[in-house]
Amino acid sequence: MNKMHIADRSIGDGEPTYFIADIAANHDGSLDRAKKLICLAKEAGADAVKFQNFEARKIVSKQGFESLGGQASHQTKWKKSVFEVYEDASIPSSWTVKLCEFCKDTGIHYFSIFKYPRGAKEG
């Protein structure tokens, strides 16, 4: 296997495993919690953290789920609507630079996936 690089790390045969902690949307809508999770990932030995950037209004149809009348399998047991759950898990685009800078200061790489094409341009 050929080697490749992610920032300052070589990846490939003979290199240590590149460990990515998938924080995703587990920040519960709190920038402080997101930063704490980054620190915990670093303490656990992660080389990078990965978040999911999205806005509920761009990926979930509030009207569509409301029109189902509570007939959406496991979501019927949720205390909040599907839209509200996604809204709580959303990462505002204003967090992107803050999280990236915090990761740099913490000594861990930052990754994010975007759930819709324009997200990468907005973030």
Which CATH architecture does the domain made up of 19-122 adopt? Alpha-Beta Barrel (3.20)
pLDDT for res 94: 86
pLDDT per residue as tens digits for the range 64-74: 655 656 555 55
List the one residue out of 94, 87, 93 whose CA is nearest residue 57. Answer: 87
Instruction: Please write the tens of the pLDDT for every residue from 53-94.
Output: 877 777 766 666 556 565 555 556 667 777 777 777 788 888
Structure tokens at 5: 């690089």
The owner of tokens 């505002």 is 92
Q: Helix 31-43 crosses helix 93-106 at what angle (to 10 degrees)?
A: 30
In the chain, domain spans? 19-122
Pairing of strands 109-114, 48-53: parallel
CA 57 from centroid of its chain's CA atoms: 17
pTM: predicted TM-score of the whole model, two decimal places: 0.76
